[in-house]
Amino acid sequence: MDKCELKPGRVFEQFAKICRIPRPSKREEKMIAYLQSWGKEHGLDTNVDRTGNVIIRKGATPGYENCKTVILQSHMDMVCDKLVDKDFDFDNDAIETHVEGEWLTADGTTLGADDGIGVAIELAILASDDIKHGPLECVFTRDEETQLTGASGMEAGFMGGDMLINLDSEDEGQIFVSCAGGRTTTATFGFEAEKAPADYFFMNVWLKGLKGGHSGDDIEKKRANAIKILSRFLYKEMGKTDLRLASLNSGKMHNAIPRDGRAVIAVPNADKETVRADWNIFTHNVEEEYHVTDTEMEFGMESADSTEIIPKPVSDRLIRALQGVDNGVFAMCQDKALADMVETSSNIASVETAGGKITIVASQRSNVMSNLENQCNTVKAIFELAGATVEQTDGYPAWKMNPNSELTRIAVESYKKLFGKEPVVRGIHAGLECGLFSERYPNLDMISFGPTLRGVHTPDERLHIPTVKMVWDHLTDILENIPARN
């Protein structure tokens, strides 16, 4: 990555170094060690709590000693996804970046700008000697992308600031002041594999190239879900022929819309050509259905080697459950200030067949906690009716908007002064660590913003380079205008 082409150079210099450090969710040890070493090398007060969160403190510049303490916060882990044919080891290999016009992308993998660019901005602030600011606490949490375990496991009193700026948002020009809460539902069907009936023909049915995306930030965009598409076809054929299922696999991350999937099925020899014809008609209709959002879908069906199958009562209940459980947006926010924000949604994120069981993971989100509970119970009930064992996480809370936020006022005024236009102040349907911070630190004044990212949680992830400088200018101006303590 040529830092000379990227501005601010000090931010992209830090990001280039971060891209060389493996940091998958739950396996951030190398990144923790790097941050710890970096802070000490720069002579800054650096600590790591029992959970693995890192804090680096920097004193105020002259004349700003009495300002309120600002916490800058981002998460150190990244979603690890790659193209099917990309040879890449996220535990050891460096992310390969390149510039395409105004966008920074990776070569066949996620870029990790979610939230590596937030980490880079913090490190650039800490390393700078030409920025005016009060006392700073730069916090780097671990494992945000899977279960928010860094934020939820943070030791009491780890942060001591008055205001917090979360740098984990993906739309420059938007200042986020609330977020959804969320939970994860896992349903498991157990089975003992058996031989297929005689004279059955095995088929490998697959699709790929879907747009995918973040199941919070992109759920309202009506993108295709690979699991739902496959289950639709299986359900249709189950009613027409004695379909037997050998395996169904799709999706990788609990917070991503699945982009590809594969099912191995067996049907009576006499019906195989009918099933092929049905697949061709079905896929044509699906392409028409998603001709706006998913323009690069690919479908395939070919013969497969015979293998053991899932007992029909189990596979039938599984297919019916996947057909029956709804997916997408269920309600929009009723609060006028957040009217364009999704209130409640659910996403079937992954299904895996392995070791005598089929495991389905789905995530539910809402900024109304009673509706979150109701949506979780709806998904749970469907899988319970199908005979699955169902477990749900405790999840994370919603972050409610503070209508009297001093930090929001400062951020809005700064943005108008710098760019001559109003920023959008809104909520986000994705989960942010601010929800957990609001429980632990109820008096903490918080906002979230960041440069523009697209395709997050997928190999299409890209960072809009010009917006990084805009965020940098905005952030440094905010820091210069933080008021003194009362």
Q: How far apart are CA 445 and CA 408, in angstroms?
A: 8
Distance CA 110, CA 105 (A): 8
State how far the alpha carbon of 442 is from the alpha carbons of 340, 436, 454, in Å.
Answer: 26, 10, 32
DSSP 8-class letter at 236? H
460 catalytic per annotation: no
Three-state secondary structure readout of 167-211: CCCCCCCEEEEEECEEEEEEEEEECCCECCCCCEEEEEEEEECCC
- HSE (side-chain half, CA atoms, 13 Å) at 465: 19
Q: How far apart are CA 233 and CA 84, in angstroms?
A: 23
| Cα gap 178→138, rounded to integer Å | 21
Q: Which one is catalytic: 114, 144, 237, 433?
A: 144
What's the full length of the chain, in residues?
486
For helices 465-480 and 406-419, the axis angle rounded to 10 degrees is 120
| Spatial distance between the Cα atoms of 34 and 79, rounded to a whole number of angstroms | 19
Distances (CA, A) of 91 to 21, 36, 367: 9, 19, 34
| Selection from 125, 101, 268, 116 nearest residue 200 by Cα | 268
CB atoms within 10 A of CB 190: 13
Helix 226-238, helix 272-289: angle, nearest 10: 140
Residue 343 is among the residues annotated as catalytic for this protein: no
Tell me how far apart the alpha carbons of residues 350 and 24 are, in angstroms, rounded to a whole number.
18
> What's the distance, CA 278 to chain centroid?
35
SS3 419: helix
The whole-angstrom separation of Cα 297 and Cα 207 is: 7
Q: Which of 128, 130, 131, 39 is nearest to 76 (CA)?
A: 39
- Which of 28, 77, 145, 168 is an active site residue? 77
- 231-235's contacts with Cβ under 8 Å and 24+ in sequence apart are 231/319, 231/322, 231/323, 232/282, 232/323, 233/205, 233/278, 233/279, 233/282, 234/263, 234/265, 234/319, 234/322, 234/323, 235/319, 235/320, 235/322, 235/323
Catalytic residues: 77, 144
